[in-house]
Structure 1
Amino acid sequence: MTDHFAKNLRFACGYYKSIAEVCRRLKLNRAQFNRYLSGRHKPSANAMMRLCDFFGMEEFEFLLPHDQFQRLLQVKPRTQTIERSNYPELEHLTKLHRTGDSNLEKYLGYYFEYYYSLSSPGKILRTLICIERQEDGVYYQRTERFQEASKNVISHGVYNGAAFFLTDRIFLVDYEARTGYEITETILFPTFRNKLSRLNGLKLGVSGSGERMPCCTRVVYEYLGRSINKHRALSLCGLYDPAGDEIDAPLKEALVNTIAPNEWHFRARH
């Protein structure tokens, strides 16, 4: 069991630039983390929960035989890290971060994201978002966790992205971290109230079904705070029936994808 876990953890770390980056973002001691990677020690319950939250996995999935774990992550060859010096145009991203960097400070923290699922029509998808500051800007991770009715397997999706505040709008751009097959853009209205509660906007992406149809849907971000029980929050993520009472009525109403008779475009609404 420990051998499976160590191999799986090393493989999951391969989706990041380095082990040092994983330790820094997890706030785990490097020496202790190396013991997990070598299989000499098993993480404590608390450390295991942090690992699961970070990688968007369940504990039992980390303990699967390594070949099953690889299939679960939809393995593909790793891409080389892009060097900024080889692509001068990437300097523009740094400039965008600097333009409205301070304006994003109040929006750091955790959110539940709600929208009508692009791959499960008629269902509302709740995901977990973590927006945080790093050295050169503000970045976020979006984690999907859901179980389709016809299957027992819990599916995960982990998206990494960057956040920008430009002229009174919040722009979020992310990509699917495991396969690199998707890029999603979200544009949100900021709030000018002292208390941060909900942010409304639009999400543009590609459905996860075989047709991979480009879709646009209304989206709501529900602020949870800067410190939460991530394991509990992830357990609440998934697909919800709009007819149920798990999601409150005003939030569901804000997600409805309708176009008024006098509208020529699909528009976001406050």
Structure 2
Amino acid sequence: MPSPFSQNLRWLCAEAGPIAQTCRGIGINRQQFNRYLNGGGIPSAHNLRRIEKYFALTEDALFAPHAEFRSGQAAQPTQSARAPLQPFSQLFQNQARPLRRFLGVYHAYYRTPTWPGQIIRSLIQLRAEDGLVVTHTYERASSEDGSIHQRGRYHGLASFQGNRLCMYETPRRSGGFLSETVLMPEHPQQTSYLQGLTLGVAARPDQQPFSTRTVWVRIAERTSAREALALTGAYPSTSARLDPKVRRLLGDQPPISINSQTR
């Protein structure tokens, strides 16, 4: 007699669509997954956690008696109701391997409408967690007279699509916006300098949407987190503290922004 786990898994897969797509989304070999469906084995702790994350269910729910499981699922949105989210969420699953060479800590350089005539240097970390690549950004800037201080912390996910590093982030505080960054190496075989574009929202009352060039420079492992964070801030475009190569890659073009008052 099939185990409750295999029955529940078959029911979930019937709702989810093609088995091959489900296996890719979870990151499990099709042959191995068929064993779970047929009751021929129980997943390892690692694979079980992947299944839990994919279906957004707890271990107790997956191993519950089938009748109880179906009753509980009837009160939840069906997999088909969640289907519009699947293509987007699957972009971020199992990205640790394709993004392995990009993992690490970087200084990111860019211009924003909030700080005209200056270049922002922020701190960004990419690290692998359970097959995902999570991002953490620390941004700060102060005016020369010390009257204005800006601090920002953001987190998000990264994905490698079309030979480009794509990152989506939102502020840690609730009610924020979503920013997107698309990067490519200066040369295919190196990751010391990455260049691309960022689409975001200015940190000012009018919240202008803007697009700007960005350059990431990998930070050497010997540099401590405190040292790297101390170098963040807003710098005049001509500052000698900025890498000349960074200035060259950024160019002189200001951010492209949309003013809400423009008609």
> Whole-Å Cα distance in 2 between the matches of residues 177 and 224 of structure 1?
23
Q: How much has 1:244 moved relative to structure 2?
A: 1.6
Find 1:92's aligned residue among 87, 91, 102: 87
**What do the CA deviations read for 1:17-64 (whole angstroms, capped 9, x no partner)?**
xxxxxxxxxxxxxxxxxxxxxxxxxxxxxxxxxxxxxxxxxxxxxxxx
The structure-2 alpha-carbon separation of the partners of 1:230 and 1:175, relative to structure 1 and needing over 3 Å to count, comes to same
Name the % identity: 26
Aligned length: 179
Structure possessing the higher radius of gyration over alpha carbons: 2
Is 1:177 aligned to 2:200, yes or no?
no
Is 1:123 aligned to 2:118, yes or no?
yes
CA contact (8 A) 1:188 1:202 kept: yes
> Whole-Å Cα distance in 2 between the matches of residues 211 and 176 of structure 1?
17
- In structure 2, the partner of 1:222 is 217
> Whole-Å Cα distance in 1 between the matches of residues 249 and 174 of structure 2?
31
Q: How much has 1:210 moved relative to structure 2?
A: 1.6
The structure-2 alpha-carbon separation of the partners of 1:227 and 1:248, relative to structure 1 and needing over 3 Å to count, comes to closer
> Whole-Å Cα distance in 1 between the matches of residues 161 and 247 of structure 2?
28
CA contact (8 A) 2:106 2:125 kept: yes
CA contact (8 A) 1:202 1:219 kept: yes
CA contact (8 A) 1:110 1:228 kept: no
> Whole-Å Cα distance in 1 between the matches of residues 187 and 253 of structure 2?
26
**What do the CA deviations read for 1:126-162 (whole angstroms, capped 9, x no partner)?**
0000000001411110100222234367532000010
Find 2:143's aligned residue among 148, 151, 154: 148
**What do the CA deviations read for 1:180-235 (whole angstroms, capped 9, x no partner)?**
32211100013555442100000111111222111111000001145641111111
> Whole-Å Cα distance in 1 between the matches of residues 241 and 159 of structure 2?
31
Q: How much has 1:113 moved relative to structure 2?
A: 0.1
> Whole-Å Cα distance in 2 between the matches of residues 193 and 203 of structure 1?
20
The structure-2 alpha-carbon separation of the partners of 1:183 and 1:84, relative to structure 1 and needing over 3 Å to count, comes to same
Is 1:196 aligned to 2:191, yes or no?
yes
Alignment of 1:1-270 (within 5 A): 84=56, 87-98=82-93, 101-151=96-146, 154-190=149-185, 193-225=188-220, 228-258=223-253
- AA of the residue aligned to 1:155: Q
TM-score (structure 1 length as normaliser): 0.59
Please say which of residues 115-124 and 165-174 is displaced more in the overlay: 115-124
CA contact (8 A) 2:186 2:195 kept: no
Q: What is the SS of the residue equivalent to 2:185?
A: coil
Q: What is the SS of the residue equivalent to 1:210?
A: coil
Unpaired segments of 5 or more residues in structure 2?
Answer: 1-54, 58-76, 258-263
The structure-2 alpha-carbon separation of the partners of 1:224 and 1:254, relative to structure 1 and needing over 3 Å to count, comes to same
Unpaired segments of 5 or more residues in structure 1?
Answer: 1-82, 260-264
Q: What is the SS of the residue equivalent to 2:219?
A: strand
Q: What is the SS of the residue equivalent to 2:153?
A: strand
CA contact (8 A) 1:147 1:153 kept: yes
CA contact (8 A) 1:158 1:176 kept: yes
CA contact (8 A) 1:142 1:158 kept: yes
